[in-house]
């Protein structure tokens, strides 16, 4: 794979008219191959003058006539980086979502991806649930189950995870997650409930049973979102592809 090339990862997951949908893609960041898949959170900067924000990858597809590779993401900003600014009602781990989905070509999305997030200090910092009992395989199975059942309508990510493993890429590198406010509250409650539990039962399956989430990262940053805002300048970004705003993931027989 050429350093500046893009390619789909895993099998297609849906067809609809001229569009074929995928679960992940591979690109290069600072000379190293990286894979982003549906449901992943990552840091981006939409223009050099914009603040760093968080993107959640929600849809990937190819327009077969023009061979365009496209993506749809949800963006999350810190309250202080929105027009209204931060106020006393905002929580310390809160981010606010842009009201409209952001559709850009993959070649433009990868230019937005930001690798230096050292100055990003927000979010609940907590270690992953220990997994002495089940080991790495049990941990990944819990994450896979969560991803398939909660994030992506039951899509099978085994082929994508295998590609990530073959690259030497690990879910431990995913260090930011944005939850809904109810999920965040359940997660905080779960952390309190397991504080004094013996390490032998502190598995991700146990956390999931308590209403938590499977967290594999070494130093995860957990944030939540409960509100949206209209971004004043995003619509002016030349990378935005408004002509594809009605594209949605196929359902029923069109899913592969």
CB atoms within 10 A of CB 32: 12
CA 128 to chain centre: 17
Q: What is the pLDDT of residue 12?
A: 92
E strand or H helix at 8, and its extent? strand 7-9
Topology at the third CATH level for domain 7-244 = SH3 type barrels. (2.30.30)
Reported as a single tens digit per residue, the pLDDT across 227-238 is 999 998 888 899
Q: What is the pLDDT of residue 180?
A: 92
Give the predicted TM-score (pTM) of the model: 0.84
Q: Which residues pair with 179 in a beta bridge?
A: 224
Residue ranges of the chain with per-residue pLDDT less than 50: 1, 130-137, 149-150, 172, 253
Domain ranges of the chain: 7-244
Q: What is the pLDDT of residue 236?
A: 87
Return d(Cα 36, Cα 247) in angstroms, integer: 20
Residues 6 or more apart whose CB falls under 8 angstroms from that of 242 comprise: 103, 235
Return d(Cα 209, Cα 245) in angstroms, integer: 37
Yes or no: say if 125 and 177 are a contact pair by the CB < 8 Å rule: no
Strands 53-63 and 19-22, bridge-based pairing: antiparallel
Triad 207, 210, 213: Cα angle to 5°? 45
SS3 235: helix
Q: What is the pLDDT of residue 131?
A: 42
């Amino acid at each position: 794979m050429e350093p500046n090339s893009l390619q789909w990862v895993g099998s297609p997951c849906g067809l609809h008219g001229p569009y074929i949908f995928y679960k992940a893609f591979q690109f290069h960041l600072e000379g190293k191959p990286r894979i982003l898949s549906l449901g992943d959170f990552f840091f981006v900067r939409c223009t050099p003058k914009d603040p760093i924000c968080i993107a959640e990858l929600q849809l990937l597809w190819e327009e077969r006539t023009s061979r365009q590779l496209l993506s749809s993401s949800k963006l999350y900003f810190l309250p202080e980086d929105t027009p209204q600014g931060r106020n006393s009602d905002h929580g310390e781990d809160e981010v606010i979502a842009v009201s409209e989905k952001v559709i850009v070509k993959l070649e433009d999305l990868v230019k937005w991806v930001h690798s230096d997030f050292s100055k990003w200090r927000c979010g609940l910092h907590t270690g992953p649930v220990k997994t002495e009992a089940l080991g790495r395989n049990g941990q990944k199975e819990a994450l896979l189950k969560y991803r398939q059942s909660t994030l992506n309508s039951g899509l099978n990510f085994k082929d994508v995870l295998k590609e990530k493993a073959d690259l030497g890429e690990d879910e431990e590198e995913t260090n930011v997650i944005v939850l809904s406010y109810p999920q965040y509250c359940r997660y905080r409650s779960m952390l309190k409930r397991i504080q004094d539990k013996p390490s032998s039962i502190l598995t991700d399956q146990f956390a999931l049973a308590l209403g938590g989430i499977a967290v594999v990262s070494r130093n995860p940053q957990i944030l939540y979102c409960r509100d949206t805002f209209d971004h004043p300048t995003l619509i002016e970004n030349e990378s935005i592809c408004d002509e594809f705003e009605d594209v949605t993931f196929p359902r029923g027989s069109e899913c592969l």
